[in-house]
Structure formats: C-alpha cells, structure tokens
Amino acid sequence: VFAPRAGERTSGLISTRVVYDQLASVYLPIAIGVFAFFTLMIVLSVLRYRDRAEPSRRSENNLLEGSYAVLLVCVVAFLLYLTLTDEHKVDSVANHERPALVVDVTGAKWEWEFRYPADGITGRSGFVGDQPLVVPEDRAIRFNLASQDVIHAIWIPQLEFKRDLIPGAVEHVTLTFTRTGTFDGQCAEFCGLHHAEMVFRVRVLAPARFASWAAAHRGRAT
C-alpha cells in the first residue's frame, strides 16, 4: 500500500517537498474542476432561467441525489487514500530512516538555537544573531525540536513542512533537503512581541562541503 510512486524518492529518502508537490498536483486540479463546474452551473442557470414564465415544481430527485452522494463518498475515499499514504511516509517512514546528522533545535523568545551534538557546533539566529542552519544535501537529518518558553513552530517553506515546538517535550522529525542553496525559515506560531523577527536561514551544502564546514567549525559557533 505504501509503495513509492515514481520520482518520489530522491536518493532513496523521503522528501517532504516532493510528497507535497505530488499530492498538491492531484488536489489542485480536482479543486479547480469542482469550482469551475459549480460556478458554470450557477452562471448557466442564471442565464437560462432568468425571468422565465412558469417555474418548475420539481423539488427532489432522490435517486440522482443518492447516486451523487455515493460518488462523493468515492471521492472522499480516493482523497483519503492518497493523503494518508503520503502522511504515513512523511511522519513514519521518514522517521525510520537512519539519520546522517542530528541537529537539536531549540526555540526561545525570540531566537533559534541549532546544536550539532556530534560536532559540538552551536549557532543562533533570530533576535540575537544570524547564524544559519547548515545542513547537507540529500541526507536524512534528524531534528530534535524543543522549546524553552512558549509554543514556537519551525517553518521552512522550501521543505513545505513545519512542526510545533512545545515546551515540556522533545519532538523528533526526519527531513531531507534535496537542493543546495540558501533558504528562508521562520517561526510560524505566534510567540509574543518579536515573533516576526524570529527568522533564520538554511544553508544546504553538498555533502563533501558540509563535511569540511563541520570540521572547520568543530567545537565552535557556526
């Protein structure tokens, strides 16, 4: 049931962005189609039946409506099949991947702390600094998410993924970046006065470059 669809896996890993794009490419045309259909029906009815002399008295067609309801149930089943399959991949399958890197992410009013326990590197971003989250491309990365005060949410649009950081527990997510470059990240859950300034950047490096970056920064700040 949970077999990958073509083109989904990049280097054998789950990419939240690819999963999102594939699911969206099914949902979006259906949504646009349904919108266009009903809008067209309404507009055509208005054009055709405006100020007509004798209105019809027909007020139900339960056979047609019942069949239509069955069709709707099938649509729901189809959407749920797709969406639950994908949700399973992002949430469960990804977390079974063996991470190439572990990063502890801590949110606090109004800054991000990125700690690389294996290399002893620490970086801070947001209100206090502008040290990016540096990660290797095409590697499973385990993020341990924690908050020191209120609820924050780590939101990286490039990954089409966010997760809340709730004080009192550590959440684990496994994510993979499939493109090198510098991307934006931001806190998405309102966390008080300077919420808007709780921003950071993600620098995705080729694995070899990441390794030399980590070696150069070992035991220091990013």
Partner 1 sequence: MTVQASSARPAVRRPGGWLGAFTSTDHKRIALNLGCMSLVFFLLGGVFALLMRSQLASDNSHLVSDYTYAELFTMHGSTMIYLFVAPMAIAMAMYLAPLQIGAVSLAAPRTALTGFWIWLGGGLVMQSGWFAGDGPGRDGWFSYVPLSDSQNTPGTGQDLWTMGVTLAAIGMLLMGACVLATILRRRAPGMALLRMPIFTWTALVTVLMVVSGFPALIIAMGLLFIDRTTDAYIYSGFAGAIDYQDIFWFFGHPVVYVMFFPFLGAAAEAVAVCAHKRWFGYKAFVASMLAFSALSMAVWAHHMFTTGGVTNQYFAATSTALVVPAGIEYFDLVGTLVGGSLVLRTSMLFGLGFFVQFLIGGLSGIWVASPTLDYAANDTYFVIAHFHYTLFAGSVFGFFAGVYHWFPKITGARLREGLGKLHFVLLVIGTNLTFFPMFLVGEDGMPRRIVRYPQHPGWVTDNRLETIGAGIIAVGVLVFLINVVVSMRRRVIAGDDPWEGHTLEWATSSPPPPLNFNRPLPPIRSYAPLLDLRQQIADAGPPATGAEIREEASA
By CB under 8 A, the residues from 97 to 136 that bind partner 1 are: none
Q: Where does this chain touch partner 1 (CB under 8 A) — which range of 2-10, 22-30, 118-126, 202-210?
A: 22-30
Nearer to partner 1, 191 or 214 (CB): 191
For residue 153, the minimal CB distance to partner 1 (Å) is 6
Among 8, 79, 93, 100, contact with partner 1 (rule: CB under 8 A): 79
CA 194 to CA 141: how far, in whole Å?
29
Q: Mention every residue, 6+ apart, whose C-beta is less than 8 A from residue 123.
A: 113, 114, 129, 131, 132, 133, 134, 221, 222
Which of 113, 89, 102 minimizes the C-alpha distance to 140? Answer: 102
C-alpha span between 24 and 17 (Å, rounded): 10
Of residues 41 and 211, the one with the C-beta less far from partner 1? 41
> In the beta sheet, which residues pair with residue 121?
116
Q: Is 42 in the site for partner 1 (CB under 8 A)?
A: yes
In whole angstroms, how close is the CB of 166 to partner 1 at the nearest point?
5
Under the binding rule (CB under 8 A), the answer on residue 161 touching partner 1 is: yes
Which residue in this structure is represented by tokens 């056979």?
A: 63
